[in-house]
């Protein structure tokens, strides 16, 4: 999740890859940063389920925001 929150970490992660996809991601990285900056994100383990409480809280907060702001 760190690359979603830190533009420079994302840049560093894709610098070593020279594929078309990495080049495209590099070109769009600032746009991706702006996109992810405004999204709630929660880490959840697929193995242990750790983080599920935070996940459901984020969904609840997002539903409340939707009802107050967009509906």
Q: CA–CA distance from 58 to each of 18, 19, 45 (Å)? A: 36, 35, 15
- Domain tally, the chain: 2
Same domain, 34 and 5: yes
Same domain, 2 and 23: yes
User: Residue 51 in contact with residue 44, Cβ under 8 Å?
Assistant: yes
Residue 52: how many CA atoms within 13 Å on its side-chain side?
A: 6
Same domain, 8 and 27: yes
Same domain, 35 and 18: yes
Same domain, 10 and 31: yes
**Residue 1 binned pLDDT confidence (cut-offs 50, 70, 90):** low
Q: What is the pLDDT of residues 41-61, one digit of tens each?
A: 899 999 999 999 999 999 999
Q: Which structural domain, as residue segments, surrounds residue 31?
A: 1-39
pTM of model > 0.85: no
């Amino acid at each position: 999740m760190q690359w979603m929150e830190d533009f420079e970490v994302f840049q560093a992660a894709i610098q070593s890859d020279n594929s078309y996809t990495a080049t495209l991601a590099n070109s769009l990285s600032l746009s991706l940063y702006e996109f992810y900056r405004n999204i709630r994100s929660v880490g959840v383990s697929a193995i242990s389920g750790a983080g599920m409480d935070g996940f459901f809280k984020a969904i609840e907060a997002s539903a409340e925001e939707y009802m107050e702001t967009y509906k």
